[in-house]
Structure 1
Amino acid sequence: MSERIRLARSHYIDEITDKLAGSEVKLAGWVRKKMELGGLTFIILRDSTGVIQVVFREDRIGKEKMKEARKLSMESSVIVSGKVKLDKRAPNGLEIEAEDLKVVGYAEEFPIKPGVGKKFLFDNRHLHIRGRKTQAFLRIRSELIKAFEEWYNSHGFTRVEAPTFVGTAVEGGATLFEVDYFGKKAYLTQSSQFYLEAMIFSFDNVYTIQPSFRAEKSRTKRHLTEFWHLEAEMAWADLNSMMDIVENSLKYAVEKVCERAADQLSILKRKFEPPSGRFPRITYDEAIEIAKRKGVRIEWGEDLGAEAERAISLEFDLPVFVTHYPKTAKAFYHKIYQEDPRKVVCADLLAPEGIGEIVGGGQRIDDLNELLTRIKEENLDPESYKWYIDLRRYGTVPHAGFGLGIERTARWISGADSVRDVVPFPRTPTRINP
């Protein structure tokens, strides 16, 4: 484990163990709870790593410091010095006998109280993120991103970045955020895919983790207008190799989250086992039959909606790949499936427990004429995609890629009710503050 930076403290709370009994420590944090009992003042002190009980006695810290201790309120910030003491009555069986107290900032009455509604919590998200459960969700998210970075960095991928302001739509449709860019029409990116495709000709295999933007007016538990996107593109790859990469990296990331964030999963009372065994791979046609059998009204050629994805994902204990969608349901850049030209060579990964799609990807069109044909079929202007088309003019190669939603994946692992729970400051059609 790399060395921590310990500003204003000698230890973090999670470093306080029975081995330190009798030792002097200095902690910095916030008051979660305060109690008065028999002339003593107790606080539950929290920092970013955990909680510990601190006891204040006048004969140890003096009259003036004791007055300050008694004035402490929830979320007051303090620096406490004292000795570690074993005490079975204390949380975790340990407490700090305070010998000095420095109040950094007294807190006014804290507005987050038991029983307040979801809207109030998100209106006060800047304070709500201090809560134990919210911190657990966000810690799981952090560990998920960290684990994905580890896997891709150790498997020959180069991390790259793509612009947020773009002049060409990737997904198109009504989900574009249009912005004025010095008098020109531009958009907030829906995906970094096109730029990653350009970079495979330099680096072979590339990935990025950055925000994407969709102007969807959906108010579901699956959608955000700004979400974090793990995207990767691979030169010389086909659909099967792409699915292998998705499966292997996801298994690694989930395993590491369960290992490193076990305490957070426990706080959330989430019993979650990393998936083992090969992920099932079914065709769109098979998926449609499952959805229809479960009462979903859907016709061949339609994209799978939330209801259909939920029905299909509940059929499996593992994430399941759905392959070869109709071209009418997918974007123009997917390679045509030669065995049935009505379909494209693509795959979505649906997470179990009714979560639905967490990954969308496929093999990209690498032939110049095929790409031009598809652009025209979709009534798009080839001039708008000039530089993207150029990639097929100068040393084209078979390639494939995908995009994974960080929030949807974190929701699945953590058992969160909504993707809004696993992002620090969610953006939805009705929320742009705080």
Structure 2
Amino acid sequence: MRTRPLKVALLGCGVVGSEVARIMTTHADDLTARIGAPVELAGVAVRRPSKVREGIDPALVTTDATALLKRGDIDVVIEVIGGIEPARTLITTAFENGASVVSANKALLAQDGAALHAAAEAHGLDLYYEAAVAGAIPLVRPMRESLAGDKINRVMGIVNGTTNFILDKMDSTGAGYQEALDEATALGYAEADPTADVEGYDAAAKAAILAGIAFHTRVRLDDVYREGMTEVSASDFASAKRMGCTIKLLAILERAADGESVTARVHPAMIPLTHPLASVREAYNAVFVEAEAAGRLMFYGPGAGGSPTASAVLGDLVAVCRNKLAEATGPGESAYTQLPVSAMGEVVTRYHISLDVADKPGVLAQVATTFAEHGVSIDTVRQTGKDGEASLVVVTHRAPDAALSGTVEALRKLDTVRGVASIMRVEGE
């Protein structure tokens, strides 16, 4: 066994970074045995050096991350800062100075993954990022390595624990959106500003990363269609239950039937209670992968938090250190297919549409005609009425999203339609 330690620089020492440092210290002997050489925390770059960090030698703490990376003896850099800058510049600096990188930075990878992979390859180094998607769940490496010989056609998953907690509470307790959000905030699942989670930005970044891996093509954050879940209501859940469904915020990545394009989207959707994702509760994540040879696979577990995310970071650290000792690198970017990412309008899906209409003869026929004019077939219709007003709930068959959304816009213009109360896609059949 090699006796000279592999030196690790840690960028960021918040919830995740401090847990990474703790595990590196308390499990040092185990990590040494698994890697084949000792690993040593050689420096910790932070913004606030005066903050007390239990278990970390103050002599290791610095505010000059660039100087730490340019020391010349750093083998691996762990980046858990988050955001675009200074993380992007620091990762590039790490490569330029001979260090492989382990990152948990989903936003940066979704935006600039191709450039970072190119930099790693140019310097013969590793870029690993298991922790960037779904926390502790082993997902990135199985898709990059275990399924490398297979063809993935579809990935559908719950990749944000905050939104799943909120929707689960709305479903199980009948709480409204704001009440469920307040509970998530009180329990620490939601940030003071939950926009990135509830508007789907966090899930969209993860979707871009997963789509790139699944389809061997470059998918950027801007390529991912995104809708948040702030408009989901208790009445939507009531409608879902009548259909034998629940509601989840889903990331859905699909290869077109002809194999010539892919789609990537994030939005709330109704899914049948019989689907495995329907039973994912609280702040857990789960990802359902459909591959040509392997069939259907599901990955499930805690998707966020200090310890789960640190677990994924340390798993990458072990892999990267082993590669260092073998003077090899692991898998890099695979984008050989260069498939185009289709617009949302080309996605084939189903709609659940709730309309407020006048309660009088001929309304249903008028609505049905509008669907027919846009080439959309109706699956089921439910109508309730009272005192001259009625609610009409229509569930469609599968059709291109452009045709479905066009139908909704035409319905809004009908004199007999007083309003479109809600629109939600139906997935997972």
TM-score, normalized by the shorter chain, greater than 0.5: no
Under TM normalisation by the shorter chain, which class is it?
under 0.3
Give 1 or 2: higher helix fraction: 2
Pair member with larger Rg: 1
TM score, norm. by length of structure 1: 0.20
TM score, norm. by length of structure 2: 0.20
